[in-house]
Structure 1
Amino acid sequence: MQQLMEAPAEIKVKTRKFSLHKGIICIGFELEENKGKIRSLKLKQRNAVIDKSYLFSMNTVQKGKTIVYHAELNVNDCHMETAFWDVVASADTGNGEYEDRILGGLSTSLKLKLILFPRWTRTKDGNMVYPFVNGARQFTIQYRKYDSRYDSYRFIAKEFLALFCYFILKPYWDRKKIWLICEKYCTMAQDNGLYFFEYCMKHVPEKERRRIYYVIDKNCPDYKAVKQYEPNVIQFMSFRYMIYLSAAQYLISTDAIRHFYIWDSPNSIYKVLYQARKNIVFLQHGVMGFKQCHRTFHKGGGNQMALFVVSSKFEQKIIHDYFGYDNKEIIITGLARWDVLEDHSNLFHKEILLMPTWRSWLEDISEEQFKKSEYYQRYKEFLQDKRLREFLKKQNITLNFYIHPKFREHIGSFQVEDSNIKLIPFGSMPLNQLLMSCNMLITDYSSVSWDVYYQEKPVVFYPFDLETYENVQGSYMDYKNDVFGDLAWTKDELIDILEEYSESDFKEKKKFAQDREYLLPYRDHDNSKRIYEHIAGADIQGKLKRRLKEKKF
């Protein structure tokens, strides 16, 4: 296993002021001379492909051995992308050379003030800017589109009213012991959350079933997948939902706790209260193997899980060693969606699924920047390759290109005109259907590779940007030696491998099949049953009590 990468460098200061009014960000702070010296301050876009930043105007005053800094920036003068923006200092921390450090040291009192009295500013282009408060005490700004449904003081009043209705009848609501299940952004129903919920609706006794709800925005296409289970489906962000969220015993999800609320909403006491109090059971989005996520889901962080679903002892060791969970908190059950996996591939209608994952350094960038990326250029060249097209036509194979949901708005950029190549927009076809109907998979680092491996189908890995990926994201497995499929580094090598598998009728190679018993021990279609039994039998303390207890040790 790889060693943990170091956290981003930070310089901690003593906060004096952090405000945002009419688009002007004001930051006031102190720093003792022996702890460093700051030459300049800038607002820098996080995970940008190219460096994009804007300088603050800054004044300093010497007070004994302490320097007082006051910096201002008018965001109306900046051409910002939808993203998180960090306040970054050019700092000398003792070696005489200046280097970029993230500004840290947002005080507890100021964090509380921003939560209790949220503030934002609307820009001339219909977007909004606000200070983003999370577990880290860093100065972070969020820039995104204004949403009239939630970005208003009227909505804040709704939050306070929901809290009042919950706390005034708290014993009544708490006795319900509500379970809430959701998937990404409460807009999806096609992953482990859906299949676990379906199991509960079909097999759990009626008395227990009454307390289990699926949360989704009913205007989303995936609502049709759960509509038949009304009234156990609840409208996302309805007043009823906000009360149930306050009362819930467990939140059960494929994603982090923030997905149970408005994504990237301005700070609010409601959001902080539910995130601080609620226990979450993590169904996972996929097997932890090729993508390091311990910084996001570490036990000591804001996304702490009460129970962590895994597929094997191999994966349990990763969660124990990297994420910091005890083995009793890591339940080996297999993934819920595997209960319905069946091999629907057909040699008379051959399909290859091309499904790359996303890149954190390409998230929320413009279409122009995306087209300049190696990611876009590599897949465009592959899809337009003459040899590939001739191979697909000769062998009567359909290549389905399914892009990751975080890049869904870029699917049209590839513009492939070939009857054997289909660009499938996210949400237009259930992913499980594509995984079951394919004869083989091409991916880079996606966890869907485990679903295809589970079905004993061949997987080809195309990690052309492995060096960058390992530096930025990281993997828990040795990519060059431990993956369960062929490795292709160029499009020509990739096409060579496709031709080889076509000649063998897409039969999996023995050298990759031999590790399946160890990597995927549960293939009996009882994964959801095991998950339910673990949750129902769990005796989990309240989240606040658990965290206080852990801090004592």
Structure 2
Amino acid sequence: MEKVNVLSYTIKGQYLEIDISCSNENEDQFQEFLYKYRSLKKEIIFKPQKEKISGNILRLKITLSDIPFSDEQNQFLDFFIIINNKKQRLIMRSNRDYSPLEFYKINSSKIAIPYITQKGGLSILYGNASLVLNRLFKSVNESIISGITTNINNTQIIISFSDFTIEDKQYFISLYNRYTNYKNAIKYEILSPTTISIDINKFKDFENGMYDLCLERIDADYLSVSPIHLFYKDIRIRPIITQNENVEFENVNKSEENKKIHVSGTRIDNNKLQLFFEEELFDTNQCQLFIMNKANSKLTVIKDMDSHEKQLSFAVDKTFENNTEMQKWKLLIKIYKNELVEIHELITDIDKKNINSWNAKHDNNDFHIIQYVSHENEIIFFLGDWDSFEKVRYITLKNNMLIRDVDVKNSHLHFVLVNLPISHYERCQVFLKKRKSNHIFFLEANMAEKSGETLVDIDLNNFIEEYSHEVSRWDFYIELVKDNVKELNKIGLFNKPYLPAHKRYYNAIKTETVNVLVPYYTVKNELSITIKTETSLYNEILKANVEVIDFNLKKGIMQGKVNISLSECDNFSVTSFIVKYRSKTDFIEYKGSVTEAKINNYESSVKFILDFSSLSFEQYYWDLYLEVWTSGKKYLVILNNPTEEIKKSISQNTRKYLSKHTDDYLIYPYITVKNTLALTYRKREEHETVLFTIKDAFAYLIFILFKGYFSKNQIWLVYEKFSQTAQDNGYYFFKYLYNNHPNINAYYIIDRNSPDYNNLKGMENKVLHYMSFKHLLYLYAGKLLVSSEAKGHCYILRQQNGRLRNIINNKKAVFLQHGVTALKRVGPTYGKKSKNAVELFVVTSDFESRIIKKYFGYDEKEIIKTGFCRWDALQDKSQESPTKEILLMPTWRSWLDDVSDKKFVESNYYKNYIALLNSKKLDKILNENNVIMNFYIHPKFKAYIDKFSSNNKNIKIYQFGEEKVNELLMKSSLLITDYSSVSWDQYYQKKPIIFYQFDYDDYNQLQGSYLDMESDLFGDRVFDSDSLIDSVESYIENNFAEKEKYAELRNSYFDFVDQKNSERTFNAIIKNRKALELENKPGFLIRVKRYLKKKIKAKAQYKK
């Protein structure tokens, strides 16, 4: 979509005047304009008045009163011009900080405000005044207006102002719901310059609740920098919408002195609270103290009350002994005068810093009864902990605070709080609040006052150490406390114009993780921090538009052409082409040369070339970037958005781009799920030969010739990891189908050389040998994939491209899972938007289902709670032998995927386990107690099994496939693992587990977990080998008994403990057969026959 440059805009009366750039020769093209209702998808063409201001400036005058503003709230209008039957957006490019505070008042409760969108487009936001202003501007609470009187009758509220006159354009009247914080402007009528009238019937449609009637004013001078709302809290008219939909009012402007009794002082004596009164306003023998719950107004009489002259006292702990919930109570008094009963609030003006507390009778030792004086001078009792008390004690005001002289050096942040003397406050602290969360982190800050301002130096090191592993975003706040008021201030450059993104970010602070930490300003000029990888940061800062229009990889040479546009950068240059290794631990990159041709300041066409024939690569993935310089800083822009022609060519013609790097390794391009261009470098599979290519082509030909036959047969393909095993959920589900549903055309894929091949004995007629002709044919023909692994495990796992791989990616699939999803974050791999997305996702419980919905993006109907098929065969065999067994089975590490033997042996992972396997202390314990420890390494590390050995005769080291995992689990009395999902199988059998997490910090940073390992693990947690061995010895001494605290958690994690998991899984698949496209569609001839039969029947009925 093309664009027309807007120079300025303003509102004058009922007109919106827009100045646009226009040469004399182009003026005739500017005839028709349109505005588009963004959400309604409705467009209206109009012809504005035009006035030539100068040679290159044309002024458009749009009559706002002619625009049919709809009744919907918060609607947007976008402006376009029509040239040669094409819409062109009205864009303000050159002066983005131009944002005049002007609005058009549709009526007394609705406004329309023109503004510039983040992409520079001219638009109008309109609707209810309060909602619109809250969306665009900041709110500031003030109470500066006095002299307001009200008069309320059945139909009208009359409000008069004595200190100022109300101007139609400047003021709005709003109703503010105290509980939902929802605010809505309402219509009013101006009776005179100082008096307005509000129709009470306007409240009929509001929800039940208590509302404050507020006066809002827009101050143009202040808003010229940062628009705000001003609340005037002195207006205290409260409409109460009752349950029967009546509207009632209580005018609380009236004096309430007759309702309150003053307490002159308090004292604690022998655990009792004593109240003192200066005057004998009542007979202390004719009164009763009671407390009122602030949340529900429940009244509780204080029974053990003592009365003396001008004095009352009671035992606080006894008064609240039956209250166990976190609540707030107010102290009241009931006075008996003759036959009358009066109820009064007790208030006091004693120092609000005075706080009394008693220990509460509660299971939580941190629970207290805390007595304090509120900001309204009420005597309040709070039940709860001190952290919660801090939140309820204060009046909280939210504001913005101006800073200047911001500087980032190393891991320290410096700035000055403008016009803020810190000595005026009791407490001043700086904290970060995590975006879209209530989590906060208080920062170490040194503050010094100078000339009425405060210099702040913040040390970010502790925050970096705590959160650098987590991709996240945080906002800066300064908390100021004085008396009963707490100010929460966002800090920022609120007096500065909006800047493009690359000028709003400070230099990145390096961390020990793959992420960097960067202070920056939001689009509202608020100071914040983002934590993410450096390459992701570049995309966020530059907002680059990239298109790969040419690409070739042949004989060790990679070259291509890219168009790049940086709309927010006045000038930039492209200096290099970069190929970068995608790794969480290793930094490897190579630079190629570029030739840049500038189209204009914002756009370039770039050719790149790299000779990689002599370069050294690591498995598996490499990303492609352009190195860009702008404003003296370097950025990497990832190559994305290849043309459809390039995507199709790479996806379907693998051999065209395939390059032999060495005799055993291949390198080729692929398109990622994020539509970026990347490289795969991997070892050649034994099947990747010319003969295999011919076999594949022949299998595809047969499939095409007999497609109808295969479609009717509806083949199910079942497999497991690398198509090498038959011992996981896939195997047990296939075995269930073979024995119970022989009518289902289900086939199991496995390498004929696999150690697990014998597990399929007696079912050979339904076995497909991995990479056989029949296997390839059925991969083309198969209707449904059912597996404990991703789709790629039924074929060459790392092969992303090619005809067969594309067909596999598009097949319907049921994911049986390899293990419970909790201890290892795998969302991007198996998420709903990934290439491994499935139609049905098996889970074991509601607990796991919540994880899959929240982190993977699946809907409720796509998750089937059936349990794991392999659990049908689990039975405790630990008592069958006098020799007890311990299974040591750690999981893999993503950052050690296919590293060299040398790197693996140097890793912390290898060093810890080889030391444990050869521990003399462990050797002694196992030998003395006749216990066997079986070490079983994860299949992904099977290539390194020869690196492990032990001198302990009671330790056995198993190669992958040498023994079935579930057999080892059933025989074991104790499992030692780290983060492996195999722990759930052991827990399912009610056996103990030790989690050996010596590298937890690395794991948490580079992999992560969905489960809180600090509090939710169902086994002992240790971090070093000595603690592990001590824990093993303890379990041996206690005959391997599971601890009660872990047993109590079991019902939270498992919904089924039976042998019907496979049956439930099958029934769920059949129930969802429509979504899985397992219902046979009638052929063409049958459809024609049915159609003719229907026509003949209809014709016969017509004749009758």
Same-fold status (TM-score > 0.5):
yes
Matches within 5 A, 1:80-479: 80-91=617-628, 97-100=633-636, 102-118=638-654, 119-147=657-685, 149-152=687-690, 155-204=692-741, 206=742, 208-209=743-744, 211-265=745-799, 267-276=801-810, 278-346=811-879, 348-479=882-1013
Q: Does 1:32 align with 2:569?
A: no
- Distance 1:126-1:234 versus aligned 2 partners, 3 A rule: closer
- Distance 1:95-1:479 versus aligned 2 partners, 3 A rule: farther
SS of the residue 2:762 aligns to: helix
Out of 614, 624, 632, the position equivalent to 1:77 is 614
Q: What is the CA distance between 1:86 and its match in structure 2? A: 2.0
Q: What is the CA distance between 1:268 and its match in structure 2? A: 1.1
Gaps of 5+ in 1: 544-553
Instruction: Return 27-36 or 433-442, whichever deviates more.
Output: 27-36
Kindly indicate whether the alpha-carbon contact (under 8 Å) linking 1:48 and 1:365 is maintained by their aligned counterparts in 2: no
Deviations 1:217-248 (A, max 9, x none): 22322221113202111122333333322232
- Measured in 2, the distance between the counterparts of 1:521 and 1:500 equals 31
Out of 500, 506, 510, the position equivalent to 2:1044 is 510
The amino acid of 1:124's aligned partner reads T
- Measured in 2, the distance between the counterparts of 1:99 and 1:394 equals 62
Aligned twin of 1:549: none
- Measured in 1, the distance between the counterparts of 2:615 and 2:763 equals 48
Kindly indicate whether the alpha-carbon contact (under 8 Å) linking 2:627 and 2:636 is maintained by their aligned counterparts in 1: yes
Q: What is the CA distance between 1:48 and its match in structure 2? A: 5.7
Q: What is the CA distance between 1:497 and its match in structure 2? A: 1.0
Aligned twin of 1:50: 586
Kindly indicate whether the alpha-carbon contact (under 8 Å) linking 1:42 and 1:55 is maintained by their aligned counterparts in 2: yes
The amino acid of 2:805's aligned partner reads K
Q: What is the CA distance between 1:33 and its match in structure 2? A: 3.5
Deviations 1:445-468 (A, max 9, x none): 100000000111111111222222
Q: What is the CA distance between 1:300 and its match in structure 2? A: 2.0
- Measured in 1, the distance between the counterparts of 2:1000 and 2:575 equals 36
The amino acid of 1:219's aligned partner reads N
- Measured in 2, the distance between the counterparts of 1:63 and 1:155 equals 47
Q: What is the CA distance between 1:158 and its match in structure 2? A: 3.7
Q: What is the CA distance between 1:133 and its match in structure 2? A: 3.3
Q: What is the CA distance between 1:259 and its match in structure 2? A: 1.4
Aligned twin of 1:41: 577
SS of the residue 1:540 aligns to: coil
- Distance 1:71-1:214 versus aligned 2 partners, 3 A rule: same
Kindly indicate whether the alpha-carbon contact (under 8 Å) linking 1:56 and 1:72 is maintained by their aligned counterparts in 2: yes
Deviations 1:101-146 (A, max 9, x none): 5433333321111122222111234321111334232222111223
Out of 3, 13, 17, the position equivalent to 2:550 is 17
- Measured in 1, the distance between the counterparts of 2:712 and 2:823 equals 41
Aligned twin of 1:550: none
Kindly indicate whether the alpha-carbon contact (under 8 Å) linking 1:47 and 1:363 is maintained by their aligned counterparts in 2: no
Q: Does 1:520 align with 2:1058?
A: no
Aligned twin of 2:131: none
Q: What is the CA distance between 1:181 and its match in structure 2? A: 0.4
Please tell me whether Structure 1 or Structure 2 has the larger radius of gyration of its CA atoms.
2
SS of the residue 1:162 aligns to: helix
Aligned residues: 536
- Distance 1:24-1:148 versus aligned 2 partners, 3 A rule: farther
Aligned twin of 2:107: none
- Measured in 1, the distance between the counterparts of 2:828 and 2:800 equals 23
SS of the residue 1:78 aligns to: coil
Q: What is the CA distance between 1:521 and its match in structure 2? A: 2.2
SS of the residue 1:237 aligns to: coil
Q: TM-score, normalised by structure 2?
A: 0.47
Q: TM-score, normalised by structure 1?
A: 0.91
SS of the residue 1:481 aligns to: coil
Q: What is the CA distance between 1:433 and its match in structure 2? A: 1.0
RMSD: 2.3
SS of the residue 2:702 aligns to: helix
SS of the residue 2:639 aligns to: strand
Q: Whose relative contact order is higher, 1 or 2, with alpha carbons under 8 Å and at least 6 apart?
A: 1
Q: What is the CA distance between 1:24 and its match in structure 2? A: 1.1
SS of the residue 1:265 aligns to: coil
Higher strand share: 2
Deviations 1:79-111 (A, max 9, x none): 22232222244455x785435554333333211
The amino acid of 1:281's aligned partner reads V
Kindly indicate whether the alpha-carbon contact (under 8 Å) linking 2:823 and 2:1009 is maintained by their aligned counterparts in 1: yes
SS of the residue 1:531 aligns to: helix
- Distance 1:107-1:462 versus aligned 2 partners, 3 A rule: farther
- Measured in 2, the distance between the counterparts of 1:78 and 1:125 equals 14
Deviations 1:46-79 (A, max 9, x none): 2263322222233322222322222222222112
SS of the residue 2:567 aligns to: helix
The amino acid of 1:163's aligned partner reads Y
Kindly indicate whether the alpha-carbon contact (under 8 Å) linking 2:687 and 2:771 is maintained by their aligned counterparts in 1: no
